[in-house]
């Protein structure tokens, strides 16, 4: 039986609740996604990626309200509304998230996604989703299903929104900046589309207004 790459919202949601790994396009790349509270699902993502201990995974949410509901807390979250979806903040892992998502380091990435099929899936799922690019660690992030198949991954995939290019076609894929907090100062862990200068300016503004 062929593995579907045009899952409906309802079918993708059911698979995630069952503990499956589902793919979808996020920021121009094909990603793996699962329930971060399910040990077996998270372990499968790690196995697919051949991910070694010491490399935490990331969570996505539709809003800061959803973060609060999931007991995700950090002043860095206040940076996300301005720079979403091209910023991920590295913060302490929330209660209940599988230890295999952070390999005991206690830190996970967190980003906001408020558009497209992934955002709709998040709203229906009602909790954060774990995401990671659908490639073995160290290999280029895939932008099409052909790229994914080249890595030997055969997994169900959520269909893009009507009018969007199919997963067989590459689209623009801006890089994501990853930042953390060290001694009350921002530290960029991975440079991307969001410039460090812009982050520092927004951080200074948030501190000046008492938002953080």
Q: What is the DSSP string of the chain?
A: -PPPSSB-HHHHHHHHHTT--EEEEETTEEEEEE-TT-HHHHHHHHHHHTPPTT---EEEES-HHHHHHTT---GGGGGHHHHTTSEEEEEEPPTTS-GGGTTTS-EEEEEE--SHHHHHHHHHH-S-EEEEESS-TTSPPP-SHHHHHHTT----BBPPPTTSPPTTS----PPPEEEEEETTEEEEEE--SS-HHHHHHHHHHHHHTT--
The pLDDT, as a whole number, for residue 3 is: 81
The domain ranges of the chain are 9-208
**Superfamily covering domain 9-208:** DHBP synthase (3.90.870.10)
The pLDDT, as a whole number, for residue 4 is: 80
pLDDT band with cut points at 50, 70 and 90 for residue 201: very high
User: What confidence tens digit (pLDDT) does each residue in 31-55 have?
Assistant: 999 999 999 999 999 999 998 777 7
Q: pTM value?
A: 0.94
């Amino acid at each position: 039986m062929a593995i579907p790459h045009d899952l409906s919202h309802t079918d993708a949601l059911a698979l995630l609740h069952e503990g499956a790994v589902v793919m979808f396009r996020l920021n121009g790349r094909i990603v793996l996604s699962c329930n971060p509270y399910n040990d077996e699902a998270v372990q499968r993502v790690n196995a697919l990626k051949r991910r070694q201990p010491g490399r935490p995974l990331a969570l996505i949410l539709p809003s800061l309200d959803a973060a609060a509901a999931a007991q995700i807390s950090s002043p860095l979250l206040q940076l996300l509304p301005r720079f979403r979806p091209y910023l991920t903040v590295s913060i302490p892992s929330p209660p209940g998230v599988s230890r295999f998502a952070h390999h005991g380091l206690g830190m996970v990435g967190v980003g906001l996604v408020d558009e497209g099929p992934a955002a709709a899936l998040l709203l229906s799922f009602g909790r954060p989703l774990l995401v990671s690019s659908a490639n073995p660690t160290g290999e280029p992030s895939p932008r099409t299903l052909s790229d994914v198949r080249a890595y030997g991954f055969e997994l169900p995939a959520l269909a893009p929104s009507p009018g969007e290019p199919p997963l067989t076609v590459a689209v623009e894929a801006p890089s994501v900046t990853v930042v953390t907090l060290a001694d009350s100062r921002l530290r960029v862990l991975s440079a991307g589309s969001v410039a460090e200068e812009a982050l520092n300016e927004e951080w200074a503004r948030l501190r000046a207004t008492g938002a953080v």
